[in-house]
Amino acid sequence: MQTEWVDAFGTPIVYIFGVSSDEGKADARAGYGIDWGPVKSKKIGAVAFGEKTELRALLTAIWVAINEASECKIPSIVIRHRSRKLDEALKRDRSSLENSKDNDEDLFAAIQEIINILPVSIERTNAIRMFNVAAQRARRTIGQHSTAVEPYTNHQFEEGYRIVDIHGACYDGIPNAKAAYGIYWGEGDPRNENGTVNGMQSSYRAYFIALYRALAVALDSNHDELIIRSRGVDIHNCISKKIYPTEKNRDLFGKLCSVMPRFKKLIHWMSQKDLNVNGQIEAEHLAKIISGNIPKHVTIFGMATANDGIGRYGIYWRPGDRRNGSGWVEGPHSRLCLEMAALEVAIKNGIDQYVQHLTVYTDSEDLKEYITNWRHVWRDTSWPPPMSSVDSSCVTLCRDLTSMLDRITVEVRDGKEGYIDEARKLADSVQAFQTVRTYGSVQTGNNEAVGRYGLYWLFDQTEAEYGFVDGVASEIRSKQTAIIRAFQIALRKGFTKIVIQSDLIEKEGLDDKLQREIKNFEKLFEVVRYEENHSDEFVKLLETM
């Protein structure tokens, strides 16, 4: 009795499937799947021999199936496939396999050698359902079953469905807004893509272009079962309810109608925005990094390292903007170094906000020259050009900045004096390190020993203080108390960076309570540094009190 697994003569029927990805490229992959069904409980999936093409994968499947039948002493088999390429190749070459100059000559010859011993019938059929298992095995072999994130049911994983994430982005309703789409197949997948939108600029249109592109690429990759994941309600209605794009986007209707019916199964999964789905996050990022052309501009000002050993910069976006700020770099640095540091901060902020183009206002000729010409020289030579005023210690910063400038376009213009002044004020607001010397000791009198401390600030030695220490007289406690008093005064004066030159050199015997208090104070400052200072000046200090 003839069935889907045995023909009218009782011959076993084997179903094969071949698939390739990135065919013709250096990183191409090809695999095959074989399903023997109930006659022989064996389901095989492996990579193709030799060249990574779909035809090669199918020929490998034929050779393996025939070889298996021969080893199991099965007198004859029927091999069924659904490939037009294989059908044409067999019809073209089977009459003269020995003289074939095809790249697949070795497999044709091997197949013919076994066919001469074992009767084999190779048939093409469109019974798609019968190839499910073989197709699954083939796709898994080359990684086409893997998902952008974990599949959301075991069923989809077992069936080998592929999930692809899409997103459309646009600042809808804003004049001159620019729309873009993102498609994410998985980490490092060469099919990940993003692009701008032709025609009407809207997130609605961006989503449908992303859908079309994802489906077209999926078909090129031999997927006939696919899950589209997005946050688009209109995408869900299109796939699930066959509600196609509106009249203004009618050009997309024909494209979608040409690809959607070619899928055996097409599913849409609606992703909630508040869910931390990696694939959706990546697709959104791909779309947003090239969408939106709201003009962004920033004014920066850099100040070369001053006598206090600090270089400063200011970043000014607009009045009241929370991104307005300042920064500093220690060590000997030119003005251009500080301007590059400011530019790096500004560009990072722009990239985080998916800004594609940033206009930088400055009065620095060196910065204009750097962005226009020098950064290209640095990229090629990995070293600043001779005419630059950049210190060699800033090369690393320059390399980092150069790589960032590949992700965003930056235009430099002469800045408005008012904005330049605001950026300069921000740079000027960066405080210098304030240095304080602290001392502590135990003095003995006629009656009993007493702890004493003293301190003075190097920027103004008249700002000095001395006093007595409560509790048990201890030299270490006196020195700890002096440090605490220095912190208290620094906070009252609004200092953010301080250097404490302390005579607390011996760390053994510290008072735990006072040490915890010191650690808590340290957290309230931007930077706290300690230097050693000996107590022989303490007597001189007391004499000035």
Model confidence pLDDT, tens digit, residues 176-190 = 778 999 999 887 778
What is the DSSP track for 91-137? Answer: HHHGGGGGG--STTHHHHHHHHHHHTTS-EEEEE---GGGGHHHHHH
Residue 106 lies in a domain: yes
Q: Which of 134 and 397 is assigned the larger pLDDT?
A: 134
Q: Which of 344 and 404 is assigned the larger pLDDT?
A: 344
**Of the candidates 407, 428, 449, which is a domain's last residue?**
428
pLDDT of 510 > 90? The answer is no
Q: Are residues 21 and 130 in the same domain?
A: yes
- Residue (of 5, 20, 124) closest to 62 by Cα position: 124
pLDDT number for residue 151:
44
**Of the candidates 139, 165, 198, which is a domain's last residue?**
139
Q: Are residues 173 and 110 in the same domain?
A: no
Q: Are residues 64 and 96 in the same domain?
A: yes
pLDDT number for residue 540:
56
Residue 1 lies in a domain: no
**How high does pLDDT run on average in the chain?**
80
Total domains in the chain come to 4
Residue 4 lies in a domain: no
pLDDT of 101 > 60? The answer is no
pLDDT number for residue 40:
54
pLDDT of 423 > 50? The answer is yes
pLDDT number for residue 158:
43
pLDDT of 213 > 90? The answer is yes
- Rounded average pLDDT over 97-103: 48
Residue 388: half-sphere exposure toward Cβ, Cα within 13 Å: 24
Q: Read off φ and ψ for residue 34, nearest 5 degrees.
A: -130, 130
**Of the candidates 269, 288, 307, which is a domain's last residue?**
288
- Asked which of 140-154, 165-179, 251-265 is least confident by mean pLDDT, the reply is 140-154
Q: Are residues 65 and 108 in the same domain?
A: yes
pLDDT of 207 > 90? The answer is yes
Q: Read off φ and ψ for residue 455, nearest 5 degrees.
A: -160, 155
Q: Are residues 401 and 283 in the same domain?
A: no
CATH of the domain at 78: 3.30.420.10
Q: Residue 372 has what DSSP assignment?
A: I
pLDDT of 236 > 50? The answer is yes
Residue 266 lies in a domain: yes
299-357 residue pLDDT tens: 999 998 888 888 899 999 988 888 899 999 888 888 888 888 898 889 888 877 767 67
Q: Are 292 and 170 in contact (CB under 8 A)?
A: yes
Element spanning 398, H or E: helix 395-404
Residue 3 lies in a domain: no
Range of the domain at 130: 13-139
Q: Are residues 475 and 413 in the same domain?
A: no
- Asked which of 31-45, 69-83, 118-132, 151-165 is least confident by mean pLDDT, the reply is 151-165
Q: Are residues 269 and 313 in the same domain?
A: no
Q: Are residues 419 and 465 in the same domain?
A: no
Show the tokens assigned to 156. Answer: 């989809």
Confidence band, pLDDT 50/70/90 cuts, at residue 153: very low
20-77 residue pLDDT tens: 877 777 777 888 989 988 755 566 778 888 888 888 899 999 988 888 888 888 888 9
- Rounded average pLDDT over 468-488: 89
Q: Are residues 248 and 309 in the same domain?
A: no
Show the tokens assigned to 391. Answer: 């210190």
pLDDT of 529 > 50? The answer is yes
258-289: burial string, b at 16+ Cβ within 10 Å, e else: ebbeebeebebbebeeeeebebbebbbebbbb
Q: Are residues 375 and 312 in the same domain?
A: yes
pLDDT number for residue 71:
83
Q: Are residues 132 and 173 in the same domain?
A: no
The structure tokens 């330049």 sit at 420
- Residue (of 229, 237, 215, 226) closest to 265 by Cα position: 226
